[in-house]
A and B are shown apart, each in its own frame.
Chain A
């Protein structure tokens, strides 16, 4: 039996990451390195107005004075910022193809097809999802733009938004995550390439799910996604984000910023299924996912929920956070983070209560296998004026095997005596008896692990939109196959 299991483990190790292919497409990549000229070059490639270039330059100058943060429970390998190219455009045409302007290279369409993201609107995901497909530094296509525009919803790449809706972008960009926020935020602000822009006008319930799909393809490039979502008064939107990358021996840098602004009585749901290449079973390669995500609940009665299923990346450093300024605003954070082999995750959230009667909920489920390290890091801060603020946090860790680690770093900072802050934490292991019980009922071990892990993560998975939940369930099972034996 153990022989069977070993064979199975090998088989899984071989096939495990099914998005590891590369796309052979002509890609225009600017020279490696980072300096003011590069920042200017990126800005000019994107045809940006002066205010945008000024924003980038300020961020770049600030970044130069900063050092990488060291407080995470992760070992980040040395990153040579001069050895990375900061702009790669797979939609750039070769000189001889210049007449095909405006057409998408069929190779790109094939790639997104292979990833299950059809760029043809008639083949749309569930018939009700609009997609912004981004490869490397450029948005390849945004679907259903026109239909959404009829409702007043703006959904396009941030590059396009800077040109077309400059005033709107300028009003909000950097107001939730200022470039001075942290080292990677400064870097992103200086060199960000593409990402999505969403504006939901007053009183509009967005008629479709909006989604962005991020794909890294080119070698030795970084991806610096920038997403900005604005939900005006009394509006609603559900937004999904998915990510994959090819298998490469060297690390790839992904340093993103997502900013969300939620006005009076508005609601935003932001869901992520993160499946960046995690590196091989010996910890070689993989994406360094160093991300700043934050939402600002500016309006009264506003709502924001972050739901994330994190199975990928060699290193994840990510704390989708909420600033609850509006009175009665509500924020939620639901997270499943899976680490296997040599993956490292330091992830969690910050809930900053500013307004009165604000309420936040944190449900975090960490699952560690192999020799991985999985940390939850969270801050609940109750400001002096946050009368009646409430927080409930629950952080659970599940261990598979004996060589992995699970860590919890909860911080509570309370300045108002009327606040109620609760924190619960558990750590458990999948027991041999549970697996045997499943086996006796005819369920093979690998399937049993998937079943048990999905049961454990259910509270979070249930928060995802339907199609994503199914995807996430499969992903959890695949990420952990062969880890018990």
Chain B
């Protein structure tokens, strides 16, 4: 369970988050909507511990642990995964080596033996099938030369490999056509267990047709100004945010 209390954060000296309160219980899906610049990506970056973002007040706990005192990799090992809005390219580093480093770093943190090569390669193959990602993508360098859709698919593949308990999907739907969107959403749904919770950041209703949220929040100017059930997303799609502001 993730619990955010009175969270204030700034980036490059500018205050972006102005007192966020949010609790996400195991198994719940929360959608986060809001205008550009409202602080959605800042919130996701603060949760995973990006060093560019400075928390000035408030707290975040994850399963009772003080998240803000943990390094980004410790947060990852604890089961938090961010599907990046714009995944970076890492030239020359094969997906295989990258995933092996990630999987084994996590296992080491959990005091498990590193996977043997054969076990690891089998996990890669099985996961490829599960999320229906092209074998060719996995044999290439991390995101290098990938199209927008391929990058998003690769994020879901990595999610499947690491089996997190809390996922943040940061505009995973942006730049995807309908077919790609369905593949990515299907992938996510296949990975879900009854305990998996998620924060889904999106501008559009259509992703939420595939990943049904339990709650929808509206973030405006660094604060959550409205929370309701899935019907809120539809309302925003039809009417925009202005009626909430008033």
Residues of A near B82 (CB, < 8 A) are 440
Residues of A near B94 (CB, < 8 A) are 455
Select one of A440, A448, A458 contacting B92, CB under 8 A: A458
CB distance from B240 to the nearest CB of A (A): 32
Residues of A near B75 (CB, < 8 A) are 440
Query: Do A441 and B71 touch across chains, with their CB atoms under 8 A apart?
Result: no
Query: Do B90 and A437 touch across chains, with their CB atoms under 8 A apart?
Result: yes
0/1 string, A427-467, CB within 8 A of B gives 1 = 00001111011111111100110011011111100000000
Bound together, the chains give a CA A226 to CA B48 distance in angstroms of 56
Query: Do B90 and A455 touch across chains, with their CB atoms under 8 A apart?
Result: yes
Query: Do A451 and B98 touch across chains, with their CB atoms under 8 A apart?
Result: yes
> Residue of A at shortest CB range from B69?
A1
Q: Top 9 closest A-B pairs, CB basis?
A: A455-B92, A455-B93, A439-B72, A442-B76, A441-B102, A442-B105, A442-B106, A458-B92, A433-B88
Q: List 12 A-B contacts (CB under 8 A).
A: A1-B71, A431-B88, A439-B76, A440-B82, A441-B158, A442-B76, A443-B98, A443-B101, A447-B101, A451-B93, A454-B97, A456-B91
Select one of A1, A431, A455, A459 contacting B97, CB under 8 A: A455
Query: Do A436 and B50 touch across chains, with their CB atoms under 8 A apart?
Result: yes
Bound together, the chains give a CA A448 to CA B101 distance in angstroms of 9
CB distance from B54 to the nearest CB of A (A): 12
- Chain B 67-90 interface residues, beta-carbon cutoff 8 Å to A: 71-73, 75-77, 81-82, 84, 87-88, 90
Query: Do A451 and B72 touch across chains, with their CB atoms under 8 A apart?
Result: no
Bound together, the chains give a CA A440 to CA B81 distance in angstroms of 7
Query: Do A439 and B91 touch across chains, with their CB atoms under 8 A apart?
Result: no
Residues of B near A458 (CB, < 8 A) are 92
Residues of B near A126 (CB, < 8 A) are none
CB distance from B161 to the nearest CB of A (A): 9
Q: Which of the listed residues A1, A454, A457, A459 has the most CB atoms from chain B within 10 Å of its own CB?
A: A1
Residues of B in contact with A, size category = 20 to 34
0/1 string, B102-119, CB within 8 A of A gives 1 = 100110010000000000
Query: Do A442 and B162 touch across chains, with their CB atoms under 8 A apart?
Result: yes
Residues of B near A402 (CB, < 8 A) are none
Bound together, the chains give a CA A434 to CA B49 distance in angstroms of 14
Bound together, the chains give a CA A443 to CA B99 distance in angstroms of 9
Residues of A in contact with B, size category = 20 to 34
Residues of B near A438 (CB, < 8 A) are 90, 98, 101-102
Q: Is A50 located at the chain interface by the 8 A CB criterion?
A: no
> Residue of A at shortest CB range from B89?
A434
Q: Is A282 located at the chain interface by the 8 A CB criterion?
A: no
Residues of B near A437 (CB, < 8 A) are 84, 87-88, 90
Query: Do A439 and B92 touch across chains, with their CB atoms under 8 A apart?
Result: no
Taking A437-B90, A440-B48 as given, write out 18 further A-B residue pairs in contact, using a Cβ cutoff of 8 Å, ordered by the A residue number.
A433-B88, A436-B51, A438-B90, A439-B49, A439-B73, A440-B76, A441-B102, A441-B158, A442-B77, A442-B162, A443-B102, A443-B105, A444-B73, A447-B101, A447-B105, A454-B93, A455-B141, A459-B92
Query: Do A434 and B98 touch across chains, with their CB atoms under 8 A apart?
Result: no
Bound together, the chains give a CA A451 to CA B162 distance in angstroms of 18
Residues of A near B105 (CB, < 8 A) are 441-444, 447
Residues of A near B109 (CB, < 8 A) are 442
Residues of A near B87 (CB, < 8 A) are 437
Residues of A near B102 (CB, < 8 A) are 438, 441-443
Q: Is A171 located at the chain interface by the 8 A CB criterion?
A: no
Bound together, the chains give a CA A146 to CA B93 distance in angstroms of 43
- Chain A 218-267 interface residues, beta-carbon cutoff 8 Å to B: none
Q: Is B125 located at the chain interface by the 8 A CB criterion?
A: no
Query: Do B84 and A455 touch across chains, with their CB atoms under 8 A apart?
Result: no
Residues of B near A431 (CB, < 8 A) are 88
Bound together, the chains give a CA A452 to CA B71 distance in angstroms of 20
Bound together, the chains give a CA A451 to CA B142 distance in angstroms of 11
0/1 string, B50-71, CB within 8 A of A gives 1 = 1110000000000000000001
Residues of A near B84 (CB, < 8 A) are 437, 440
Bound together, the chains give a CA A148 to CA B109 distance in angstroms of 49
Select one of B76, B77, B90 contacting A452, CB under 8 A: B90
Given contacts A431-B88, A458-B92, contact A441 B52 (CB under 8 A): no
Given contacts A432-B51, A436-B50, A436-B51, contact A443 B73 (CB under 8 A): yes
Bound together, the chains give a CA A35 to CA B82 distance in angstroms of 69
0/1 string, A148-192, CB within 8 A of B gives 1 = 000000000000000000000000000000000000000000000
Bound together, the chains give a CA A448 to CA B97 distance in angstroms of 11
